[in-house]
């Protein structure tokens, strides 16, 4: 099965906005006739992580931008990921010196080829011809094997204001009283994301 998911940005700015804890992502799922899962990319976990997201597994990694997704451990995440002066990944603004990735959804009319370096697109999204001002398209290819249709295909766009990777970076400074207090509040909070939009189709 091949499906193209188109996400449109209806805000007048990049989405999500620039603070490095924020991220939005696509959860794409396929169920068979009996309602059994055939494929799922981007499942939100109760502890604030995203299944398959590289940055939730290692502080030295991040999930790249995708044009094509064929595996459940590939997730289209719209976010800004920064590097410090030693080229290490960081989620702390005062340590940031450059971007390793910035594929936040662009507002309508934004020309990524002419944008100033301060607001430019960074990473693989820069070469993605379908990542343009106002929208992005991602193609999903799913092996159905012996699963029986009709199939329920669902695409959901989720948003989280505080990513697990950001909290891991912040917790390194929990000797600071206010940081320790915030980490404690986060650990007790509901970490499930907000559903921004969804679309579903039934196909043979």
**Among 87, 126, 71, which residue's Cα sits nearest to residue 104?**
126
User: What's the confidence (pLDDT) of residue 62?
Assistant: 96
Distance separating alpha carbons of residues 131 and 11, to the nearest angstrom = 16
Query: Which two three-digit tokens encode residue 79?
Result: 């976010």
Kindly report, residue by residue over 170-204, the tens digit of the pLDDT.
998 889 999 999 999 999 999 999 999 999 999 97
Kindly report, residue by residue over 58-114, the tens digit of the pLDDT.
889 999 999 999 999 999 999 999 999 999 999 988 899 999 999 999 999 999 999
Please give the distance of CA 196 from its chain centroid, rounded to a whole number. Answer: 13
Q: Which pTM does this prediction carry? A: 0.95
Q: Quick one: angle between helices 177-188 and 164-171, nearest 10?
A: 150
Domain ranges across the chain = 2-203
């Amino acid at each position: 099965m091949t499906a193209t998911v188109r996400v449109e940005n209806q805000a007048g700015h990049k989405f999500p906005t620039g603070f490095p804890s924020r991220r939005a992502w696509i959860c794409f799922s396929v169920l068979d006739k009996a309602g059994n899962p055939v494929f799922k990319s981007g499942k939100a976990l109760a502890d604030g992580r995203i299944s398959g997201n590289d940055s939730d597994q290692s502080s030295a990694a991040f999930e790249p931008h995708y044009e094509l997704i064929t595996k459940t451990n590939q997730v289209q995440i719209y976010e800004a990921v920064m590097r410090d002066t030693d080229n290490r990944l960081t989620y702390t603004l005062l340590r940031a010196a450059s971007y390793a990735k910035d594929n936040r959804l662009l507002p309508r009319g934004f020309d990524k080829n002419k944008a100033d370096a301060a607001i430019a697109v960074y990473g693989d999204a820069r070469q993605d011809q379908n990542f343009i001002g106002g929208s992005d398209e991602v193609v999903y290819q799913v092996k159905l094997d012996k699963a029986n249709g009709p199939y329920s295909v669902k695409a959901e766009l989720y948003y989280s204001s505080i990513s697990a990777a950001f909290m891991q970076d912040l917790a390194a400074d929990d000797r600071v009283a206010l940081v320790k207090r915030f980490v404690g509040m986060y650990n007790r909070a509901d970490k499930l994301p907000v559903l921004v939009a969804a679309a579903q189709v039934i196909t043979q």
